[in-house]
Each structure stands twice: as C-alpha cells, then as structure tokens.
Amino acid sequence: MGTIFAATSASATGENILYWVSDEGHTSTGDNRVFSSPITQTLINSPISGNTASTFTSRALATDGTYLYFNDNNNSGSWDIVRTNLDGTNKTVIATGVSEASQLVSNSTFLFYSTWNDGVFAVSKTPGSTPNRIDNISGSGFQGLAVCGTDIYAEVYSDGLYKATSNGTTAVSFTKNTANAGSFNALSVTSLACDSNNLYLGQLQGNGVIYKTPLSSWNANPSTWTQLNISSVTNYSWGIFYFSDSIYFSDSNGKIGSITSTGTSPTLMTTSGSSTWNVAVTAGPTPTPTPSPSNSSNTLPNTGSNGESLIGFAGLLLMGGISLLAYAIIRRRIV
C-alpha cells in the first residue's frame, strides 16, 4: 500500500499544508509516494518513514479538507482508490480494482477521476463503493479534470476540452469546446482546476504559463484565455490546485511553486531531482493557545490602600511607645 510521509507537524504552527506526489527517494525508480509539509517559503520534504518497491501510488491526488484521496497500488496489477486522514493515518479503501487514475478531484459527495484509456468516472466517498463511468466521449487520452459546483470539465489529450453537468451517478452528455480545439492539443493539457468563477489549465507546452478563463467563457478559443506567467519558476505546470486565491503547481521535473490567482508573486517553493506530479492544499489546524503566565507573586496580599496601610502602621508604633513609657514609670516608682 502507498504511504504518506509527513515531513513535519503543522499542529503547532497553524500553517496551511501542501501535499504532493513524487518519486523522490523511492527504492523503485519511477514509483510514487505522497509527501506533506506546512507551506513555507521552502518546503520541508524529508520523509520520516521507509518504503519498498511494492508500495507506490499513481500521480493522482485530491482532498476535501477532511481527508486525502489517492490511487494506491494494491500489488495485484490493478489499483484502489483510498482515503486517509490528513496525516496519512487510517487508510480506508473507497473502491477496488480500478484503472490507474490520471487526475482525481472531489466535491462534497463524490470523487471524480479520469483514466487515460477508460474515460471519466464518479464514485461515492462511502467505503466499498463502485465507480460509474459518466462520460460519453470516445477515444483515449483522458487527463485533466475539474469539478466546479455541479459542472465537470474534462480534457482529452489530442481531442479537446469538454464540459457536462453531473450528479455523479449516471452517464451524461459532454459538450466539446470547438473553438480551435487543436490549440488544446498543442498545449499538452495535463490538469485542470477551478475556483467559484474561473477555470485554470495546466500544461506541458513549455511556454511558462498557466491558463485562466471565466467559467462562463470555458468554450472560448484558448488564445483569448488569460496567461499567468510562471516562467521565473518553471516552464511547465503538470499538476495545479486552487486554494485561497493562489494556484499551487508542480512541473513534473522536481519543482513546486505558487502564484496568486491574479498572476502575481510566482514563487519557487521546493526543487529536487525527482519527478513531481499532482498537488493539493488544506487549511492547517488551529494552533493550541499557550496559557498565559500566572500573575501570582510571593508578596503578601495588600489588604487596603497605601494610605490605610500607613495609618495602621503609625497606630501600631504609637501603641508600642505608650506601652514602653508606662513600663518605665512603673519601674521607677518601684525603685
């Protein structure tokens, strides 16, 4: 079974957490595992557990903020879709015997995934569920996938971009973007993502951009889409993920970066000599408040105002003086 390696705990920091798929450090070249790290300027990506040649995942990865979902090799020639807690514990099988997923995405009820040769599928998040193929697209090359509300977008390599409204249970008719569909083929689209208003497209053309368009213009010619320039980080964007007004991306060549959804502040987050594939981000846990130091002291409590204390002290001195005077008078008379 594939393993998630948490490089460091974010429980004390409250930072958002980045997850990514990579073959870094795997004992079997080309086999992948899942890494995690709090989001910092430079990611901490040192795994804390070992691995074997029989444990690896596909390039697909998703999260709904509560669980991680990925495609896990079950050592029998096929794959499982599994979920884990965000720290990689409590692995649970959602569906067994599926094909290797190209991309995996989540909404509140279903997981959607594409497989290169077989199409677009939906499966309930309930463990032990059976996937349903939901597309009517012929051919192969199913790659990028995004779910935006009730709409699902699918990119088919060497064919084009498609859209449909899906309930996750029955097959639906997908509509194709026919506005110079060949442009999508030239882009070598590998991943899709969306926010509430826009669709984003990751690709391997090598021109150093992530494409963006309003959801209402998904069927426009890609030459009219906004280009988010990431060339200062990398020329490729294999996997992309939208989170909190930023796009996080990997380039398949060891680099992971981010850029704001408006196209500013491209940032290199980590680099290695290994392959890096799909990425995902979740909100970090809220830090546990540190108790405030006690205000106690070793001094005796003040039982009155400063004036009252002085008056009381003077009274004690006066009474002591009177007592001494009386004692002296008595002794003199005796003598």
**What CA–CA distance (Å, rounded) separates 241 from 258?**
9
pLDDT one-digit tens code per residue, 211-267: 999 999 999 998 899 999 999 999 999 999 999 999 999 998 889 999 999 999 999
pTM of the model: 0.80
Q: Enumerate domains of the chain plus CATH numbers.
A: 4-282 (2.120.10.30)
Q: What is the DSSP string of 154-167?
A: EEETTTEEEEEE--
> Which pLDDT belongs to residue 28?
60
DSSP state at residue 216: G
* Best-predicted range by mean pLDDT (6-15, 21-30, 36-45): 36-45
Look-up of token digits 């099988």: 93
pLDDT one-digit tens code per residue, 57-78: 778 999 999 999 998 876 666 7
Please state, as a whole number, how many other Cβ atoms lie within 10 Å of the Cβ of residue 237: 31
User: In sequence order, what are the residues at sequence separation of 6 or more whose Cβ sits closer than 8 angstroms to the Cβ of residue 263?
Assistant: 212, 226, 227, 228, 229
